[in-house]
Amino acid sequence: VGHLFLVETQNVASSNMGRHYLGARYLGSPKATSLTKELQINFPHQSIQGFQMDWQEFHRVHSDHLVDSALIVNMTGDWNSEALLNSVHLQLRQKKDLLYGWTEAHACAGHAVLVKTGGGCLACHFDASGNAERQLTKWPAATLLQEPACGATFQPYGPVELSSSVGLISNLALDSLLGKIQTSMHRMWKGSTELLREAGGEWNEGLLTEYGALGRDNLQVEADWDINPSCFMC
């Protein structure tokens, strides 16, 4: 990887400390430009640029960067943003891959979807409201907690629980850049049953049985991200 463009609107907050590369000395600082500064010092041989904006503005102002990139990695976890990017990518997918990554509640499971020229687009396995067709976990109630005396909501997990999903996404990014994947691909990571039950959830037994992964923990499952003839976008 020789060039990186980091695009993010938010500043570093105290709630990020356990799950972010940047530490407390960057509190209140823009994430994109601060991370660019830190990475550029540690990896001086790379060309790294940070943009404190959402990807829509980045696409409008710096469309050449988006078009010239070999791989776009989207980690927003926001369906409205991702669906819009999917529609843009449908015009660009002959030239580049697009990787989406997200975790399920409490980071008990993780997903990485690589969208290529062959195979389905992101929306092929989501409904119009942004609900994923393949969910490894099930929950009896809402999973967000509220901070005391504050309107902010959160899920209590840290970098240990998150690390396997980060590895899952990173490996698929490398496989894309190295030309190892020929069609759209979905990789899922199934975490710890003990952690899931402590958080109040249960496994989606039907889906895990389909992939032969019901009785085992801490493993990766791979599936085609095929074209859905009823897709509302492609």
Q: What is the pTM of this model?
A: 0.92
Cβ neighbourhood burial of 2 (10 Å; 0-12, 13-18, 19+): exposed
Let me know: does 176 contact 110? Beta carbons within 8 Å: no
* Average confidence (pLDDT) per 10 residues, the chain, 234 residues: 94 85 94 97 96 94 90 92 92 85 95 94 94 95 78 79 95 96 96 95 96 93 95 90
Let me know: does 98 contact 210? Beta carbons within 8 Å: no
Cα–Cα distance, 233 to 82 (Å, whole number): 12
pLDDT of residue 151: 67
Cβ neighbourhood burial of 25 (10 Å; 0-12, 13-18, 19+): exposed
Residue with tokens 């039907």: 206
